[in-house]
Amino acid sequence: MLKTVLTRAQRREHRTRITRLTELCGPPPIALRKVIAADEAAAAS
């Protein structure tokens, strides 16, 4: 879905930023991942 909104460079920047944040804070809790997945599924339908 982000391919239609962000350029390849922007997606790469976001991916790099998320990787750095994960290294600092650790992986997101399971509950947060479920909320994000549900939100993405709702947006896709």
pLDDT, position 3: 61
Q: Are 1 and 43 in contact (CB under 8 A)?
A: yes
Report the number of distinct structural domains present in the chain. 1
The C-alpha atoms of residue 5 and residue 8 are separated, in whole angstroms, by 10
pLDDT tens digit sequence for 1-45? 556 788 889 989 999 998 898 888 887 788 888 898 999 988 887
The C-alpha atoms of residue 6 and residue 28 are separated, in whole angstroms, by 23
pLDDT, position 2: 54
Domain that holds residue 21: 2-44
pLDDT, position 13: 93
pLDDT, position 26: 84
In terms of pTM, does the model score above 0.95?
Answer: no
Give 36's contacts (C-beta < 8 A, 6+ positions apart): 28
Give 2's contacts (C-beta < 8 A, 6+ positions apart): 11, 14
Q: Are 39 and 1 in contact (CB under 8 A)?
A: no
